[in-house]
Structure 1
Amino acid sequence: MPDELTLGELARRLDDRTGDIRDDIRGLSEEMGKKVDQKLYDIRHDALAARVATLETLREKDAEKLVATRRWLIGAVIVPLVGILLPVIILLWQGAGS
């Protein structure tokens, strides 16, 4: 009967399995401790979504300010400058042609 286990061998194997199960349970407990609670995840996700929405709104306002600044620059600086220089250039051109 060499295939049969002795009581000592059986006890040793049972202790090994019990130790393995304890290690597995300990590992699972550590992993569960690392997981984020669903409520906390939802709160963080909502806060992040609100922050992104705020940043998008600010970006749109900045884009509108940039467009307004360009319009002001064209209307207040470039158009009067062209209005002053164009007659001078035309007069110089006509004077050079005569």
Structure 2
Amino acid sequence: MTDEPTLGEVVRRFEDRLTDVRDDIHQLGQRLDEKVDRQVYELKHEALATRVAALETLREKDAEKLVATRRWLIGAVVIPLVAVLMPVIILLVQGAST
């Protein structure tokens, strides 16, 4: 009979197990509170996808503006400048060769 636990020891072991189960349930409750609902996740994902699409559209518009600005710069500044300087250069070259 020495191998059998006393009633007090059985109660103590049972209370220990009950405490462990309560702690486990409490931890599970905390983990469930931290979990994101699937609908909330999907909404956030859709909002992010919409935002990325808007940013890509803005980037494409900015690239088009940059190309238009370069074309304007070439057409309004470089070509007239070359047109003015070319006759001067030609006259200088002809004058130096005579």
**Pairwise TM-score range, normalised by the shorter structure:** over 0.9
Equivalent-residue separation in structure 1 for 2:16 and 2:87 (angstroms): 101
Gaps of 5+ in 1: none
- 1:33: which partner in 2? 33
Count of residues in Structure 1 that have an aligned counterpart in Structure 2: 98
Match of 1:58, as an amino acid? L
Equivalent-residue separation in structure 1 for 2:91 and 2:61 (angstroms): 44
- 2:43: which partner in 1? 43
Percent sequence identity over aligned pairs: 65
Equivalent-residue separation in structure 1 for 2:84 and 2:42 (angstroms): 62
Q: Secondary structure at the match of 1:19?
A: helix
Match of 2:25, as an amino acid? I
- 1:7, distance to aligned residue in structure 2 (A): 1.2
- 1:2, distance to aligned residue in structure 2 (A): 2.9
Deviations 1:17-38 (A, max 9, x none): 1001101100110110111111
TM-score by length of structure 1 reads 0.94
Match of 1:63, as an amino acid? A
Gaps of 5+ in 2: none
- 1:20: which partner in 2? 20
Q: Which 4+ residue blocks in structure 1 deviate beyond 6 angstroms?
A: none
Residues 1:71 and 2:71 aligned together: yes
Q: Secondary structure at the match of 1:2?
A: coil
